[in-house]
């Protein structure tokens, strides 16, 4: 009985160590203070297609280009999430991940949780949002994940500089961003 319990404990500790190793590094300064979010998000305006402009590298988007996220209303009150990636290049094999999101802070609607795997939820915080909903900066409280999303596949040099400045003011290491390739506009 002791041997079986020890083996189970060893397996659990190994799984925890493996999970810890697979997490992306924290790319936000420890002394940056609590992470702020957008003050007020109109979810209906936020729904629709977003193009990934940049991201912190992560395992679930490894080798992804032409990344988009599509959000919509579900009948159960949750938000549908459809993430699309092209493996290796903008014309690579298309991979789709279907998930759902729920609002966890109804005061601002800026803090959501997203799930792609059953009962497991991850933070999705809208950190900053353009007044016209053309650009969104998304992260999570630990500073491991970060995305720059746009309604268009590319953004201007000025918009990019403004986004980077905002993120740096939030304590993010913007040098760690990976700039996603998007297909040319038709």
Compute the Cα dihedral for 136, 81, 106, 168 and give only its sign: negative
Residue 153 CA to residue 84 CA, distance in Å, equals: 13
- Domains of the chain with CATH codes: 32-179 (2.40.128.20)
Q: Residue 186's pLDDT is what?
A: 60
Structure tokens at 143: 């500073």
Residue ranges, the chain, pLDDT below 50? 1-21
Global pTM value: 0.86
- The Cα–Cα gap between 1 and 120 comes to 31
Amino acid 81: pLDDT: 98
Residue 109: both structure tokens together: 């609607």
- Over residues 133-170, the pLDDT tens digits come to 999 999 999 999 999 999 999 999 999 999 999 999 99
Q: What pLDDT is stored for residue 30 in this prediction?
A: 85
In the numeric block, the tokens 């609590």 are attached to 34
Q: What is the pLDDT of residue 172?
A: 96
What's 126's DSSP letter? E
| Contact (Cβ atoms closer than 8 angstroms) between residue 163 and residue 170 | no
Greatest CA span in the chain, whole angstroms? 65
pLDDT of residue 127: 98
DSSP state, 28? Answer: B
Distance CA 99, CA 158 (A): 33
């Amino acid at each position: 009985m002791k041997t079986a319990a020890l083996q189970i404990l060893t397996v659990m500790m190994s799984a925890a160590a493996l999970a810890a190793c697979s997490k992306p590094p924290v790319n936000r300064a420890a002394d940056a203070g609590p992470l702020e979010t957008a003050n007020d998000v109109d979810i209906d305006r936020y729904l629709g297609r977003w193009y990934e402009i940049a991201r912190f590298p992560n395992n679930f988007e490894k080798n992804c280009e032409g990344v988009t996220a599509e959000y919509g209303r579900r009948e159960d009150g949750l938000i549908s999430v459809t993430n699309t990636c092209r493996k290796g290049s903008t014309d690579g094999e298309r991979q789709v991940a279907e998930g759902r999101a729920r609002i966890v802070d109804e005061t601002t609607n800026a803090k959501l949780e997203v799930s792609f795997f059953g009962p497991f939820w991850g933070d999705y915080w809208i950190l900053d949002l353009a007044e016209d909903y053309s650009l969104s900066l998304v992260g999570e409280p630990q500073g491991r994940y970060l995305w720059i999303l746009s309604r268009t596949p590319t953004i201007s040099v000025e918009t990019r500089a403004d986004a980077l400045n905002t993120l740096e003011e939030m304590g993010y290491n913007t040098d760690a961003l990976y700039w996603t390739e998007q297909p040319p506009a038709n």
